[in-house]
Structure 1
């Protein structure tokens, strides 16, 4: 076994164990952390396969942004763990059967007879100055540019739809709204009032004179 094969099998084992722990732990924060470890192991596998761009994007986007957002949302939600624990053993046989069926289908599609080295051959070793970022960008922005733009439009529509569904207008009696136009047209005389106040010394002298009387 070469060193590259050792790294590959180690990262694959870490990814499998992390995925299994993510779906078995009952604490949602720990599940999110196990998912982060699975992402990191998968990114390492992509880097060993000379797909550095995809590995770094997986770490920067999913681990650095998406999973941090998930952790904040999970920690801010008041999740009742007792209810989650009640249905775990109840649906465990059904979940095990579904997992076995999924693994069987994956083996039929991704088995050695379809993706083994005897079928695909050994991977091509690229030169040191090879840029997989350029290799991805050229067909993405030329051959598949329309699909790329369509995916961007769909994501934009999804964002607008999510904001529209969560937007709730409340009455002005319970929520204070900001009127930008009114704030811009506000004059200083409408907001400030000069008040003449006696100093502390004058108040002290006045109170002492009243006491003397």
Structure 2
């Protein structure tokens, strides 16, 4: 009984939050409603036993993506009048895109009802263990037979991060030292960095 009540509570809050994301006129409020929708979606994942997906929703989407959206929206100088004018101007295009997405959804539902595709028989390497939680099962697969692919994905993400830093790097103007000298800081001795003072009571320190 409590599982059913929790499901309807989380599902109702997800739908209401999603509607408020679209209906809110303030972009900051939309992001806050989106965060609420993520939290309730994580609750739904916990109800069905998918703790790993629930953790991803909270850590990745709420802790990183939604907060990034919030910071970007708060730092932008948004002209609400121009935004409303652009909304009215692009309304027919939005309706067309919505109809295309609806047609794709109906096509997908029809294909699902017609029967799934035969993609082959899986081998025993990807068999799901029933004696452990799904987090342990996912970890056993990632760090077991798929460890090479997992490491390759990490290297690709590292290269993408380094590439973004290199592309956005701007050297300082000539003659201006805008960055620290790490080598000089490492080679500096303690007596050159700090000076111990023991001033008398009631007197200041000479700099």
Q: Same fold (TM over 0.5)?
A: yes
1:84 aligns with 83
Deviation at residue 154 of structure 1 after TM alignment: 2.0
Unaligned 5+ runs, structure 1: 116-125, 193-213
Partners in 1 of 2:136 and 2:185 — Cα distance?
50
1:37 aligns with 2:39: no
1:153 aligns with 2:155: yes
Q: Where do residues 81-120 of structure 1 align in structure 2 (5 Å cutoff)?
A: 81-110=80-109, 113=113
Partners in 2 of 1:47 and 1:173 — Cα distance?
58
Larger Rg: 1
Deviation at residue 178 of structure 1 after TM alignment: 1.8
Which sits farther off after the overlay, 142-151 or 179-188? 179-188
Deviation at residue 94 of structure 1 after TM alignment: 1.9
Deviation at residue 55 of structure 1 after TM alignment: 0.5
Q: Report the count of equivalent residues.
A: 181
2:123 aligns with none
CA distance change for structure 1 residues 132 and 3 in 2, over 3 Å: closer, same or farther? same
The answer (yes or no) to whether the contact 1:26–1:84 under 8 Å persists in 2 is no
Partners in 2 of 1:135 and 1:72 — Cα distance?
36
Partners in 1 of 2:65 and 2:141 — Cα distance?
27
| TM-score normalized with structure 2 length | 0.69
The answer (yes or no) to whether the contact 1:40–1:59 under 8 Å persists in 2 is yes
Deviation at residue 59 of structure 1 after TM alignment: 0.9
